[in-house]
Amino acid sequence: MRIIIVGGGKVGKALVRQLSREGHDIAVIDEKSRVITEITDNYDVLGLVGNGASYSVQKEAGVEDTDLLIAVTNADEVNLLCCLVAKKAGGCSTIARVRNPVYNSEIGFIKQELGLSLTVNPEYAAATEAARILRFPSAIKIDTFARGRAEILKFRIPEGSPLVNCTLMDISKRTGADVLVCAVQRGSHVEIPNGHFVLKAHDFISFLATPDNARAFFDGIRIKSHRVRDCMIVGGGTICYYLAQQLISNGIKVKIIEKDLDRCEELSVLLPDATIINGDATNQDVLLEEGIADYESFVSLTGIDEENVFLSLYARSLSDSKIITKIDRINFDDVIDSLNLGSIMHPKLITAEYILRYVRAKQNSIGSNVESLYSLIPDQVEALEFMIRKDSPVLGIPLSEIRVKDNVLIACITRGGRIIIPNGHSVIEPDDSVIVVTSHTGWQDIGDILKGE
């Protein structure tokens, strides 16, 4: 597809990186020449310096022949205007990042009147991700497939776990759960393992299961699998507001610590069922006084990454509560992963993921059969969900006889709403949904998994 991206910030760059790898024809517009230079130096894309809401700039970028325009600048109104101009000029599909909570209750009206295909609210998306994890706190990350019937969960094996020194083929016997380990990260090494692979303490494993089997898996290794009863949130910004709303609606008690008095007063009106504390959470006496050690979960959402890291480390030192840490800068992933900060939340990457899902669904309607794609381990391992058509080259052949490329795992088959964890005798049929885990990138068709003759 031909795609114009307006805005070369963190979200824009994440979109460029992934979409260029998937073979799309991309033009990027940004008002800062250094941003465009950096992007065009690193990716094979067209870059234009200018105002993305300008018709002449969009025309130079080829809007009249474009399939999709994505506006992800820092200004909601500019994003909406970009989409309106593109819709009138080229008739293309449009996506706008809209983050102001004022627009959230009106987003349906805005989408309809401006003809938007999708709007993404980064703060709401991040809050939804955090709420999902707190409902299943044993996992670091949860990605859903097959319309929620299957999940890939990421989990770190602790010292003394029954999984230590266990081979993958013995996991079901040891846990009593039907799960499939798709990827293992050990330090900087990543592997798509076979059944003889032996797990070690501190491995990060990504495994596929139904929600019921995921719960049974964690019960089988003596790790609690129920949702948290209460949550302490530090930082009363927009993500906090959306997250608290969702947690309270699920019966989870919420306490918010915010140092700005005016914001505390706003939150007390917006969230009457939450406990709002005016205090500086970087003062550990405040956290101790508010009972941090007694909470089942702790979420650090201040606007400063370093504060969030230190707060989460302090919470980790006091209890085994579920911890979620918001990180805006994404350049130090290796260091952050080594700090055991629980689930790391990158709002800008979550926003990019939401947009990418729409792009793949649109691509699916014009030739690709990728239904969804998730990055299990950034830039190293992906999970793709393919819809199987009647002319697919993998139909009717036992999986043991299909010659697939190296580092490819057929992890799941969904047939008529039923989840199948496949073995060598399993056969793929038309209209199945198939999840493939691989270290390869840029695939558009299930046939891409096959070795060439």
Count of beta carbons in the 10 Å neighbourhood of residue 169: 12
Residue 368, pLDDT score? 56
Spatial separation of the C-alpha atoms in residues 133 and 231, rounded to whole Å: 12
Host domain of residue 442: 367-449
Q: Compute the average pLDDT of residues 128-144.
A: 85
Please give the mean pLDDT across all residues of the chain: 88
327 in a domain, yes or no? yes
116 in a domain, yes or no? yes
Q: Which amino acid is at 159?
A: E
Q: Which amino acid is at 10?
A: K
The answer to whether residue 360 scores a pLDDT higher than 90 is no
Residue 37, pLDDT score? 96
Share of the chain above pLDDT 70, in %: 96
Report pLDDT digits (tens) over 388-400: 888 888 988 999 9
58 in a domain, yes or no? yes
Residue 230, pLDDT score? 95
Buried b (16+ CB within 10 A) or exposed e, 258-287: bbeeebbeebeeebeebebbbbebeeeebb
The answer to whether residue 442 scores a pLDDT higher than 80 is no
Whether residues 13 and 104 share a domain: the answer is yes
Mean pLDDT lowest among 256-270, 283-297, 348-362, 416-430: 348-362
Residue 259, pLDDT score? 94
Q: Compute the average pLDDT of residues 209-222.
A: 88
Number of domains in the chain: 4
351 in a domain, yes or no? no
- In angstroms, what CA-CA distances link 185 with 28, 286, 325, 387, 435? 34, 37, 20, 28, 20
Whether residues 239 and 279 share a domain: the answer is yes
- Farthest CA pair distance, the chain: 68
Whether residues 8 and 116 share a domain: the answer is yes
Whether residues 215 and 234 share a domain: the answer is no
Whether residues 134 and 104 share a domain: the answer is no
354 in a domain, yes or no? no
Residue 366, pLDDT score? 52
Q: Name the domain boundary from 120, 146, 168.
A: 120
399 in a domain, yes or no? yes
Whether residues 158 and 204 share a domain: the answer is yes
Whether residues 436 and 381 share a domain: the answer is yes
Whether residues 264 and 249 share a domain: the answer is yes
Whether residues 102 and 159 share a domain: the answer is no
Whether residues 69 and 152 share a domain: the answer is no
The answer to whether residue 167 scores a pLDDT higher than 80 is yes
Residue 443, pLDDT score? 78
Count of beta carbons in the 10 Å neighbourhood of residue 143: 21
216 in a domain, yes or no? yes
The answer to whether residue 330 scores a pLDDT higher than 70 is no
CATH no. for residue 382?
3.30.70.1450
Whether residues 66 and 162 share a domain: the answer is no
Report pLDDT digits (tens) over 104-125: 778 888 888 888 888 999 899 8
Contacts of 235 (CB under 8 A, 6+ apart): 257, 258, 281, 300, 301, 302, 303, 308, 326
Share of the chain above pLDDT 90, in %: 49
Q: Name the domain boundary from 68, 93, 120.
A: 120
Q: Which three-class secondary structure string do you get for the chain?
A: CEEEEECCCHHHHHHHHHHHHCCCEEEEEECCHHHHHHHHHHCCCEEEECCCCCHHHHHHCCHHHCCEEEECCCCHHHHHHHHHHHHHHHCCEEEEECCCHHHHCCHHHHHHHHCCCEEECHHHHHHHHHHHHHHCCCCCEEEEEHHHCEEEEEEECCCCCCCCCCEHHHHHHHHCCCCEEEEEEECCEEECCCCCCECCCCCEEEEEECHHHHHHHHHHCCCCCCCCCEEEEECCCHHHHHHHHHHHHCCCEEEEEECCHHHHHHHHHHCCCCEEEECCCCCHHHHHHCCHHHCCEEEECCCCHHHHHHHHHHHHHHCCCEEEEECCCCCCHHHHHCCCCCEEECHHHHHHHHHHHHHHHHHHHCCCCEEEEEEEECCCEEEEEEECCCCCCCECCEHHHCCECCCEEEEEEEECCEEECCCCCCEECCCCEEEEEECCCCCCCHHHHECCC
Report pLDDT digits (tens) over 54-101: 999 999 999 999 999 999 999 999 999 999 999 998 889 999 999 887
Residue 334, pLDDT score? 63
Whether residues 110 and 14 share a domain: the answer is yes
The answer to whether residue 26 scores a pLDDT higher than 60 is yes
Residue 362, pLDDT score? 73
286 in a domain, yes or no? yes
Mean pLDDT lowest among 137-151, 187-201, 331-345: 331-345
The answer to whether residue 276 scores a pLDDT higher than 70 is yes
Q: Name the domain boundary from 220, 241, 272.
A: 220
Report pLDDT digits (tens) over 305-326: 999 999 999 999 998 889 999 9
The answer to whether residue 132 scores a pLDDT higher than 80 is yes
Q: Which amino acid is at 69?
A: L
CATH no. for residue 77?
3.40.50.720
Q: Compute the average pLDDT of residues 14-30.
A: 90
